[in-house]
Amino acid sequence: MPFVTEQNLTDIVLERWSHVPDPRLRQIMQALVKHMHAFVREIEPTEAEWFTAIDWLTRTGQISTDKRQEFILASDTLGVSMLVDAINHRFSSKATPTTVTGPFHIHDSPEFADGADMAQGAPGIPCFVHGKVSDIDGRPVGNVMLDVWQTDGEGLYEAQRPELPDVWMRGIYHSKPDGSYLIRTVAPIAYTIPLDGTVGELFHRTDISPYRPAHIHFMIKAPGFHAVTTHLFQKGDDYIETDVVYGVKEPLIVAFEKKPAGSKAPNGEVINEPFYDVRYDFTLQRLAQAAAA
C-alpha cells in the first residue's frame, strides 16, 4: 500500500471501500467519500472549523426527540428533503404532488369522524377543509386514510406546546365511499421554523428568511395506491415564494375563502363567527400505473 499523501488519500480510501460486498452500500459509501473529500478540498477547513461542524452535528442529534427531529429540519432547510422526495415520487402529472413530511409529524394520531373538529378549542379562526379523493381516471376512492397535522392559529405544533398533556392539532380522517372528506380545524398561520436549536444557530448567521407559509399537512394512504405526503398552502401568503424548506408546488396553493359570521359551513352548520372554507380534491395514482408527463 502506498503511503498516504494529500494528493492520493481520496483514491486510497475509495479503493478500501471498493471491497464492501453489498453493491448498494459500496456505491453509497464510495460516492460519500468522493463528494465529502471534494467538499473538504474545496473549502479547506481549519481544524477548529471541522471540530465546530462535528460539534454542531452532535448537538443536532442530542436535541432530536420523537416529537422534534432536528436532523430532518436541517435536511429540509438545505433543500435535501425536497430533492429526495422528488426522486422517490415521480408520479403522473395528474396526481396530487408530494412535498416534505417536515420534523413535526407524530404517529398514531387519534381517529376523527368525518367533519369532526380536530382543533378542539385550539386558538385560531375556524376552518373547514373538504373535497373528494379520486384516482387519476376520476373514479372516487373511499376509505382513504388522511393523517392531518398542522400548527394552531398561533403558529405552534404539538411539540412546541410541552405544557399540553394531550394531542394537539393532529388527527386521522377517512374518506367516505363516494371519496368525499370533511375536516374541521382552525386556520394555520405562517411561522418560523424553530430557531432555538442548532438549525436556528445557523440561520441567525444568515439573511435567509426562516418563515414557512401557512399550510396544513396531509399523509394520505389507501390500499393499491401510492402514498402521498403533501401540504395545502394558503394562497396569497407572504412567504409562498420564499418557503424556507422549498416545499411549495403550484398545484398545492389553495384559496382559503373567508366567510362572514352567520354563513353556512360545509357541514351544514351555521357558524356564528367568521371562518375559512377550503376546497381541495386529492388525486391518487395506483401502484400499477406508471408516471406520465
For 170-192, how does the pLDDT look when each residue is reduced to its tens digit (9 = 90+)?
Answer: 999 999 999 999 999 999 999 99
Average pLDDT of 140-166?
93
Average pLDDT of 237-249?
97
pLDDT exceeds 60 at position 1: yes
**0.85 cut: is pTM over it?**
yes
- pLDDT the model gives residue 293: 40
For 18-60, how does the pLDDT look when each residue is reduced to its tens digit (9 = 90+)?
Answer: 999 999 999 999 999 999 999 999 999 999 999 999 999 999 9
pLDDT exceeds 50 at position 288: yes
Angle at 237 between CA 236 and CA 238, to 5 degrees: 110
The DSSP symbol for 140 reads B
Average pLDDT of 260-286?
97
Average pLDDT of 145-170?
92
- How far is the C-alpha of 238 from the C-alpha of 163, rounded, in Å? 30
In this prediction, residue 291 has a pLDDT band, given cuts at 50, 70 and 90, of: low
- pLDDT the model gives residue 29: 98
For 10, 20, 234, the CA distances from 30, given in Å and listed in that order, are 10, 10, 43
The DSSP symbol for 22 reads S
The number of angstroms, rounded, from the C-alpha of 153 to the middle of its chain's C-alpha atoms is: 19
In this prediction, residue 165 has a pLDDT band, given cuts at 50, 70 and 90, of: confident
Window from 100-104, 150-154, 196-200 with minimum mean pLDDT: 100-104
Average pLDDT of 114-128?
96
